Structure 1
Amino acid sequence: GHPLGGDLQGRDLLSRLLIGSQQTLMVGVLATFLGLIGGLVLGTLAGALGGWVDSLVMRAVDVMLSIPSLLLAVSVGVLFSPPNIYTVIVAVAIVQVPIFARLLRGSMLAQRHSDHVLAARSLGVKPGAIVFRHMLPNSLGPVIVQSTLVLAVAIIDAAALSFLGLGNPDDSVPEWGQMLGTSQQVFDSHPNLAFWPAGCIIVVALGFTLMGEALREALDPKNRR
């Protein structure tokens, strides 16, 4: 009745892995979505307005990118007390914001001098309409592809924060990183308690990475020739 055995308290390990997948995927998806929204706002401001706004946003992004992602996530996570699943989501989302912001800003700068944007300006279209109807929709392709790749990193970062004790402290609601952190107490005698959650994290992160690479190749016009 227990294919993978039980944990330290005799609870079924397979059931906890299945429930933990919900928690881990929810954290990864929500963190990536919030990071994408924040990156879209900053990237749109920098790419559309330019000038001092672009310089200010990009300097803030450069500062965030200069800090290792996991260290930044830990620094944000420890600001909240007590730690819970929502603090992990916010911490991981903040780490993802500069990635999307820089990518979108570069795509929008490339769109500013494209033919359809110049044609819209020559016809007297308002700047706001040019940004939201012409520049932004044509700049979202690389950002959407990047979100699938970032999702894998978000899952790993979320598991790392839970492993370090910055996630949900209630072990009745399992999460892969939390299970991995608990298993280190008995790693010498029961290494299987660490093997299964670690394997799940690796497989899921690798799966999203491969999906992102496949999506990038599918949307790249050079690969269609």
Structure 2
Amino acid sequence: MDLALDEAESVEGIEKTAGPGACGPRERARSLWSDAWHQLRRNPVFIVSAALILFLVLIAIWPQLIASGDPLQCDLSKSQQGSAPGHPFGYDTQGCDVYTRTVHGARASITVGVCATLGAALLGSALGGLAGFFGGWGDSLLSRVADIFFGIPVVLGGLVFLSVVTSTTVWPVVGFIVLLGWPQIARIARGSVITAKQNDYVQAARALGAGNARMLLRHVAPNAVAPVIVVATIALGTYIALEATLSFLGVGLRPPTVSWGIDISNAASQIRNAPHMLLWPAGALSITVLAFIMLGDAVRDALDPKLR
């Protein structure tokens, strides 16, 4: 039986690698992932966005590399002053260094985006993948539950859910985003699994007696994960923007946490007197969100041969 299953898996490999351009048995076509990596390395959008994201992650982990000051150390005598030697972005209303707070604000925003994306992707992939593979009443139940969550306005839900939370950490915001973000991933994973399980190599493995776990983990999941990766990459930037929106409204991250959304909220009322207070954190937020969206677009183009 194991020999027959191994033969079925070899059929899967041939079906995925062989193509109309194959000239002989010695020519081995690239797999989906190696071909995608080959395309990404030649895409300037991917190179620029990946380099920018790598830099943002680096300063989120070690902000002292480029900002040695304390973001919570303020001097009211310098309130709303413009740029000065050693303080290129000026000061905010409380006399805090805007440059230092902008650099340190990357940690909270990127932590929320990465953790929320991982949580939503894992939960949504597991539920959607199982529902799409087994079908039946579980599939119908998941669809109805997902429809309920799709009907909840994100900002309104955040105002209701997070207004009763008193924690100043990032985890309530992460939990809320995961709660409303998993249905989108689940729907993508469900459709991708339904498509993958209809392939010939999956049917051959089933006919040869492969169990559900073996088929799901070795045949279906590796060929259904690409759309989930694309959606999750694009959603990461959206989640960062959502955290900033909730923090701007006063229900997301709260002081003493340093966040771009908090700084934008504090600067909104002083935009005429001190526009620099709003310009730098808003610019950092926009660049970060744009970088992740560009990365998602590049990954989508690489993983979908029809878009090349």
Common topology (TM > 0.5)? yes
Query: Does residue 78 of structure 1 match 2:163?
Result: yes
Structure 2 partner of 1:157: 242
Unaligned runs of 5+ in 1: none
Structure 2 partner of 1:94: 179
Structure with the greater alpha carbon radius of gyration: 2
Matched residue SS, 2:95: coil
- 2: distance between equivalents of 1:192 and 1:219? 41
- 1: distance between equivalents of 2:159 and 2:205? 46
Which one of 271, 287, 291 corresponds to residue 203 of structure 1? 287
Cα-to-partner distance string for 1:3-58 (whole Å, 9 max, x where unaligned): 01011121211111000011111111111111111101211221122010000011
- Tell me how many residue pairs correspond in the alignment: 223
- Across the aligned residues of Structure 1 and Structure 2, the Cα RMSD in angstroms comes to 1.5
CA contact (8 A) 1:162 1:181 kept: yes
Which one of 99, 106, 126 corresponds to residue 14 of structure 1? 99
Q: Which has the higher helix share?
A: 1
Unaligned runs of 5+ in 2: 1-85
C-alpha deviation, 1:130, in angstroms: 1.0
Matching residue's letter, 1:28:
G
Cα-to-partner distance string for 1:164-219 (whole Å, 9 max, x where unaligned): 11233223x31000111111232231122112111111111111111110111111
Structure 1 partner of 2:271: 187
1:23-34 matches, within 5 Å, as 23-34=108-119
CA contact (8 A) 1:176 1:197 kept: yes
- 1: distance between equivalents of 2:102 and 2:217? 43
User: Deviating runs (4+, > 4 A) in structure 1?
Assistant: none
Structure 1 partner of 2:10: none
CA change 1:76–1:45 in 2 (3 A) is farther
Matching residue's letter, 2:89:
L
Cα-to-partner distance string for 1:125-184 (whole Å, 9 max, x where unaligned): 01121112211121101101111100011000011111111233223x310001111112
TM-score, normalisation: structure 2: 0.69
- 2: distance between equivalents of 1:209 and 1:142? 15
Which one of 288, 299, 303 corresponds to residue 215 of structure 1? 299
Structure 1 partner of 2:227: 142
Q: What percentage of aligned pairs have identical amino acids?
A: 37
Matching residue's letter, 2:150:
L
- 2: distance between equivalents of 1:151 and 1:175? 17
Structure 2 partner of 1:53: 138
CA contact (8 A) 1:83 1:166 kept: no
Query: Does residue 127 of structure 1 match 2:200?
Result: no
TM-score, normalisation: structure 1: 0.93
- 1: distance between equivalents of 2:172 and 2:233? 22
- 2: distance between equivalents of 1:60 and 1:78? 24
Cα-to-partner distance string for 1:95-134 (whole Å, 9 max, x where unaligned): 2101100000000011121111100111000112111221
CA change 1:64–1:20 in 2 (3 A) is same
- 2: distance between equivalents of 1:90 and 1:39? 14
- 2: distance between equivalents of 1:74 and 1:144? 29
- 2: distance between equivalents of 1:95 and 1:74? 13
Matched residue SS, 1:186: coil
CA change 1:178–1:103 in 2 (3 A) is same
Matching residue's letter, 1:189:
N
Cα-to-partner distance string for 1:79-105 (whole Å, 9 max, x where unaligned): 433453211111112221011000000
